[in-house]
Chain A
């Protein structure tokens, strides 16, 4: 079965320190990969995506992610965390060989990021 794993329910980081939110996936073919952020009682905001090309993708608010095909990972990173980065982060994939589905995203369970001053 196709799936996305975010192994950490919560990540705690001190402000100013680098942060990493992990994501691995298990899908057929070469998927499109996404990161979204969700603030309380809000929809999802797009951060970045990987379609093809350079494995290091830069996105909104200083976030970046590195696509690693051999490890089937797409970890989200930021060199210096801000308190305002505290939110729920979702990794998602769209399998290109998605069979009977109609191009919907498959989501990880989400990782709560907490940045302390």
Chain B
């Protein structure tokens, strides 16, 4: 079946630094990927839709300059959290539309900003 690889699984960074999270579709091409944020005991909140070769579409209230998304190839999308602050600490999950048609999710990244 379709597989999406996301890494790192967890990362701790200092306040003010930037962190990059990668999301790769391993056995299919994903023209569209989605980035979610999940707070403890809550549902997934869509942050942005990543489109290969074009600018990402951000949801209302999500700072595009803070959460940089790049989808340079059909198998890779990256989310960079710039100038991270403790309030950015969260669980970030990517998803790709697969040929199912369905959606395959990465294993998530636990970001802790200290």
Q: Using a CB–CB distance below 8 Å, which chain A residues touch chain B?
A: 32, 34, 36, 41-46, 49, 51, 90, 92, 94, 101-105, 107-110
| Contact call A110/B43, Cβ cutoff below 8 A | yes
| Contact call A103/B43, Cβ cutoff below 8 A | no
- Beta-carbon nearest neighbor of B93 in chain A: A43
3 smallest CB-CB distances across A and B, nearest first, come from A43-B105, A44-B105, A43-B107
| Contact call B101/A102, Cβ cutoff below 8 A | no
**Residue from the list B32, B49, B57, B105 in contact with A45, Cβ < 8 A:** B105
| Contact call B91/A41, Cβ cutoff below 8 A | yes
| Contact call B110/A90, Cβ cutoff below 8 A | no
- Beta-carbon nearest neighbor of B9 in chain A: A41
A105–B103 Cα distance when bound, in Å, is 8
The verdict on B34 contacting chain A, using a C-beta distance below 8 Å, is yes
| Contact call A41/B110, Cβ cutoff below 8 A | yes
| Contact call B32/A43, Cβ cutoff below 8 A | no
Cβ contacts A to B, 22 pairs, < 8 Å: A34-B103, A41-B108, A43-B6, A43-B93, A43-B107, A44-B93, A44-B95, A44-B105, A46-B103, A46-B105, A49-B102, A90-B43, A101-B49, A102-B32, A103-B32, A104-B34, A104-B46, A104-B49, A105-B34, A109-B42, A110-B42, A110-B43
Q: Which residues of B contact A43 (CB under 8 A)?
A: 4, 6, 93, 105-108
Q: Which residues of A contact B95 (CB under 8 A)?
A: 44, 105
Minimum C-beta distance from B76 to chain A (A): 17
Minimum C-beta distance from A109 to chain B (A): 5
Minimum C-beta distance from A104 to chain B (A): 5
**Residue from the list B102, B103, B108 in contact with A42, Cβ < 8 A:** B108
Minimum C-beta distance from A50 to chain B (A): 11
Q: Which residues of B contact A109 (CB under 8 A)?
A: 42-43
The verdict on B104 contacting chain A, using a C-beta distance below 8 Å, is yes
Interface centre among A32, A45, A90, A102 (most CB of B within 10 A): A102
**Residue from the list A51, A90, A101 in contact with B44, Cβ < 8 A:** A90
| Contact call B105/A49, Cβ cutoff below 8 A | no
- Beta-carbon nearest neighbor of B10 in chain A: A41
A45–B1 Cα distance when bound, in Å, is 12
